[in-house]
Amino acid sequence: MQRIFLIIPMLLIVLACNTEKNENSRSVYHGTMAEISFDQTKWMTKEGLDYPYRDKMLNSIVYNDTVRALNKDEILDLLGESDRSNDGYLYYMISQRRLGFWPLHTKTLVIKLTGDSTIDWIKIHE
């Protein structure tokens, strides 16, 4: 019985310490992520649970004055349906690190809309 209590934590540690690198994986922590300009087709590309290109083109959305001048309908035309919306906020998942199915770290683009459906602000939530 005591072996089971030792095996389970060891198994979790081994799974958490996976050292394999995926070419499409985020490299934010290592500072090697190359940025690309916004491409609507790549933005909407989803592989499994992940969006492989969103993190690389995030700055071209967040720091773009043209995007900030759009209204809600234009944002939805440009970025597609949000992953979640709530009380004037649009949430787009950028990336997520997981341990199995459990999310460990999620990066989200958050767009706050005003009462007349224009953009109040755009932020990155981690």
| In the chain, where the domains are located | 39-126
Confidence of residue 14 (pLDDT cuts 50, 70, 90): low
Residue 13: the pLDDT is: 74
Per-residue exposure over 91-104, b if at least 16 CB sit within 10 Å of its own CB, e if not: ebbbbeeeeeeeee
pTM of the predicted model as reported, rounded to 2 decimal places: 0.71
**Residue among 113, 108, 111 nearest 125 (CA):** 108
Structure tokens at 17: 């310490």
Q: What confidence tens digit (pLDDT) does each residue in 48-78 have?
A: 889 999 999 999 889 988 888 999 999 999 9
Contact yes or no for 9/30 (Cβ under 8 A): no
Best-predicted range by mean pLDDT among 14-18, 19-23, 37-41, 100-104? 37-41
Q: What confidence tens digit (pLDDT) does each residue in 71-122 have?
A: 999 999 999 999 999 999 999 999 999 888 888 899 999 999 999 999 999 9
Residue 7: the pLDDT is: 76
Contact yes or no for 89/110 (Cβ under 8 A): yes
Handedness of CA 108, 114, 115, 118 (dihedral sign): negative
